[in-house]
Amino acid sequence: MPNYILDQSFPSERDRLDAMARNWDPGTLHIVGELGIGKGHRCLEAGAGTGSIARALAGIVGPGGQVLAVDRDTRFLDDLPAPAEALSADLMTDDLPPASFDLVHARLLVAHLHPHPVALERLAAAVAPGGWLLVEEVDWTYADRSEPDEPVHTAMVAALTGVMTGFDTTYGHHLLGDMLDLGFTQVSAQFRGTQSRHERSWLPWQLLVEQFQDQIVHKGLMSAGDVDRWWAVTRAQAHLVAGPALFAVRARRPTS
């Protein structure tokens, strides 16, 4: 099974990652604050993408801290502010510094990595005693609903699920179970999401469809006409649409 199917070289992939960061960063940074991450702390941002969280963490930990932004594709990470630095590595094969970080954060990553529990164990191994693992993953369970109901959107979400092999679209609600198996303490989960008729909710879908629509038609999952109808629906912005729910699970490594 392929480990990562989204294409960083696709022209709008940077826009898609930026749109997701705008949606999710405030909530992520709120949780980081709840975990007590601050000056002098050491953080690992796993699957850092465009580096929006790594940049924010650099400000939070300050010059005496450390932020290691790891991605197997570091093309968007060449201008990180100190003390953040980028590391090009594959999290499933390259070992991370063991027991070294006060926070290890991964968002929209583990659902692409297989087996998921192995990916979590590899991230957990980098957490220092007393440090936190924070993992955030989406769940598309309600994401195919629109109001009023629009079957072509439901069909599009099913078609995207069909072409995005290797990406587990409902991993969000399984994540807590896997995190409970790590042997960490203070494990808890919450989830968040948006519903609106505006670009904020539609744009992430549009950027995903741009990337996969040719494959969707080629595989016969939707006709070209239905894909065009889906675009007309999203541009009209007359329907309320739910973005995917993001499940955030935190867990603390015991101090001994």
Ligand X SMILES: C[S@@+](CC[C@H](N)C(=O)[O-])C[C@H]1O[C@@H](n2cnc3c(N)ncnc32)[C@H](O)[C@@H]1O
Can you give the binding site for ligand X, defined by CB under 6 A?
3-4, 6, 8, 17, 20-21, 47-49, 71-73, 90-92, 107-109, 112-113
d(CA 232, CA 179): 41
Q: How far is the CB of 184 from ligand X (least distance, A)?
A: 21
Q: How far is the CB of 224 from ligand X (least distance, A)?
A: 27
In the bound complex, which residue of the shown chain has the CB atom lying closest to ligand X? 49
Q: How far is the CB of 70 from ligand X (least distance, A)?
A: 6
| Residue number with CB closer to ligand X (75 or 235) | 75
**Strand (E) or helix (H) holding 33:** helix 13-34
Q: How far is the CB of 149 from ligand X (least distance, A)?
A: 28
124 touches 106 (CB < 8 A):
no
Tell me the two tokens of residue 238. Answer: 């007359």
| Residue number with CB closer to ligand X (47 or 244) | 47
| Residue number with CB closer to ligand X (78 or 149) | 78
If we measure between CA atoms, which residue out of 32, 145, 135 comes closest to residue 91?
A: 135
d(CA 115, CA 110): 9
If we measure between CA atoms, which residue out of 159, 144, 136 comes closest to residue 244?
A: 144
Q: How far is the CB of 96 from ligand X (least distance, A)?
A: 10
| Residue number with CB closer to ligand X (109 or 251) | 109
Sequence-distant (6+) residues with CB within 8 A of 33 are none
| Residue number with CB closer to ligand X (44 or 61) | 44
If we measure between CA atoms, which residue out of 29, 27, 37 comes closest to residue 252?
A: 37
